[in-house]
Amino acid sequence: MGLLTENTLTPLAVAVAIFLLLVDLMHRRQHWAARYPPGPIPLPGVGNLLHVDFQNLPYCFSQLRRRFGDVFSLQLGWTPVVVFNGLAAVREALVTRAEDTADRMPVPIFEHVGYGPRSQGIFMARYGPAWREQRRFSVSTLRNFGLGKRSLEQWVTEEASCLCAAFADHDGRPFTPNALLDRALSNVIACLTYGRRFEYDDPLLLRILDLMEATMKEESSVLLTVLNAFPVLLRIPGLANKATRMRRNFLAQLDELVTEHRMTRDPVLPPQDLTDAFLDEMEKAKGNPESSFNAENMRLVVSDLFVAGMVTTSITLSWALLLMILHPDVQRRVQQEIDEVIGQVRRPEMADQARMPFTTAVIHEVQRFGDVIPLSLPHMTTHDTEVQGFLIPKGTMLFTNLSSVLKDEAIWEKPFRFHPEHFLDAHGRFLKQEAFMPFSAGRRACLGEPLARMELFLFFTCLLQRFSFSVPAGQPRPSDHGVYHFMVTPSPYQLCAVPR
């Protein structure tokens, strides 16, 4: 210790500082590359972390877009980030440059919950053979188990009836619909993955929902963010386990369901659900170390489908009900169309949709206005690429600002208002809009889009066929401003559901 005198400490500190600055400079050197997108000047060490409001990223990005244009760059710590805004830039990045922009960022902590080269689920899987195999499998299984056929449609319609019964139990008194929507939409995924539904008060269903919510909270925790940013900390014994406790509990719960499923499966019957189909693929892949059909990956794929498939659709339906109580004139027009096309007795079917342009326009406008996943999921470049004339190096994190497309002032007549006419032509016919992009686009676009569309149409029409929704008497009109937390949920509200 005696060696560390003031004389030696000062040059040492200067040397360390210079070294750190050089390392920092190395990480930021792409800023000086020709045609790199503009952005705020990064500070040594932290980059632009202090320029970004993580509590409200969509607003922060809209401000930065005003300053720097449709394609701008940021440096988050040492991670280079490029943000695309507006239809032209987002489409070019996701569709024209699909092959270059389809990767996801590595998430070091996931290695502690079973992620490996052959087990990455779908959502966060790196762009490669394991992702491709599971994406193909999920899409074809969704199709085989009834998308486009009647079986899944029947499941959804029956679930919608159960949801109506649960709404009716409130006898027209005020209630918050969110918990019931979550349960109904979880049942659709449970039907796909396990071929079963749960009663809404089944403790197992409630536990799955609690664990799912806790997992999502855990994933945005400070501890997890720090561990991902500085993976070296993962070597501290016990830390990774502490940071992933909820996710591991959630996966363990799904394992129990698979075990139960295995015991009750009739081996003579063809696969009845996604778990059966996955187990069959595992059997075929026995001895093939390259296959992503393994027990570890099955739980990750199923947990991805639960999280991706349930929460997004439930929040969208919550937006739909909120917007109906805020716009009773629109609600009445939807009910009028339901009465004309379906009547009051028969259950709605997907085939009705083609004859219900107003309802279809309303559902699209709910998705546009609700803007549930405003910044989509981050992507990463697999190669150096060029978008809107800017050069973006391999390994750059990409944000595609879907919100900037769904609310683009150059495209929509009233971008910040709920206005179903955005999706209707002058003759009242449904009008497709290129800038309707809530499911993203390109290679990583939402694989559940057809199921989500079916759920939204059937749940929405079943509910409006049975009930009139209103703001509870004596309560103030709820706000239509969303709350951003990766997804945008409506501010908490209550409604009354009065049978028609």
Query: Which residue ranges are tagged as binding site for heme?
Result: 446
Query: Measured from the CB of residue 324, what is the shortest distance to ligand HEM in angstroms?
Result: 17
Specify the amino acid at residue 309.
G
SS (H, E, C) 327-354: CHHHHHHHHHHHHHHCCCCCCCCHHHHH
Please tell me whether residue 447 binds ligand HEM under the rule CB under 6 A: yes
Tell me if 305 sits within 8 A of 254, measured CB to CB: no
State how far the Cα of 170 lies from the Cα of 122, in Å rounded to an integer.
39
Query: Measured from the CB of residue 285, what is the shortest distance to ligand HEM in angstroms?
Result: 20
Query: Measured from the CB of residue 198, what is the shortest distance to ligand HEM in angstroms?
Result: 17
Q: Closer to ligand HEM at the Cβ: 181 or 452? A: 452
Binders in 346-405 for ligand HEM, by CB under 6 A: 372-373, 376-377
Please tell me whether residue 190 binds ligand HEM under the rule CB under 6 A: no
Binders in 72-131 for ligand HEM, by CB under 6 A: 122-123
Burial of residue 52 (CB within 10 Å: 0-12, 13-18, 19+) is middle
From the list 309, 357, 374, 490, which residue makes contact with ligand HEM (rule: CB under 6 A)? 309
CA 55 to chain centre: 17
Q: Which of 306, 262, 298, 250 is closest to 137 using CA atoms? A: 298
From the list 137, 439, 469, 484, which residue makes contact with ligand HEM (rule: CB under 6 A)? 439
Task: Provide the token pair at 114.
Answer: 């079973």
Please tell me whether residue 331 binds ligand HEM under the rule CB under 6 A: no
Strands 467-470 and 482-485: unpaired
How many residues belong to the site for ligand HEM (CB under 6 A)? Answer: 24
* Stretch of 206-214, 410-418, 445-453, 460-468 lying at the interface with ligand HEM (CB under 6 A): 445-453
Please tell me whether residue 451 binds ligand HEM under the rule CB under 6 A: yes
Query: Measured from the CB of residue 467, what is the shortest distance to ligand HEM in angstroms?
Result: 21
- Beta strand extents in 365-456 (DSSP E only): 379-380, 385-387, 390-392, 397-400
Residue 235: what are its φ and ψ, rounded to 5°? -75, -15
Please tell me whether residue 445 binds ligand HEM under the rule CB under 6 A: yes
From the list 313, 359, 401, 404, which residue makes contact with ligand HEM (rule: CB under 6 A)? 313
Q: Which of 407, 432, 418, 383 is closest to 490 using CA atoms? A: 418
Query: Measured from the CB of residue 187, what is the shortest distance to ligand HEM in angstroms?
Result: 13
From the list 74, 152, 180, 305, which residue makes contact with ligand HEM (rule: CB under 6 A)? 305
State how far the Cα of 240 lies from the Cα of 233, in Å rounded to an integer.
9
Q: How far is CA 291 from CA 117, 135, 140, 251, 393, in A?
A: 10, 13, 17, 21, 31
Query: Measured from the CB of residue 310, what is the shortest distance to ligand HEM in angstroms?
Result: 7
Query: Which residues does the annotation place in the binding site?
Result: 446
Please tell me whether residue 316 binds ligand HEM under the rule CB under 6 A: yes
Tell me if 44 sits within 8 A of 17, measured CB to CB: no
Please tell me whether residue 134 binds ligand HEM under the rule CB under 6 A: no
Q: Closer to ligand HEM at the Cβ: 128 or 172? A: 128
Radius of gyration of the chain (CA): 25
The residue of the chain with the least Cβ separation from ligand HEM equals 448
The SS3 call for residue 422 is helix
Please tell me whether residue 304 binds ligand HEM under the rule CB under 6 A: yes
* Stretch of 67-75, 268-276, 310-318, 334-342 lying at the interface with ligand HEM (CB under 6 A): 310-318
Q: Closer to ligand HEM at the Cβ: 234 or 350? A: 350
Tell me if 372 sits within 8 A of 55, measured CB to CB: no
Strands 467-470 and 385-387: unpaired
From the list 440, 461, 465, 489, which residue makes contact with ligand HEM (rule: CB under 6 A)? 440
State how far the Cα of 245 lies from the Cα of 250, in Å rounded to an integer.
9
**What residue ranges bind ligand HEM (CB under 6 A)?**
122-123, 135, 304-305, 308-309, 312-313, 316, 372-373, 376-377, 438-440, 444-448, 451-452
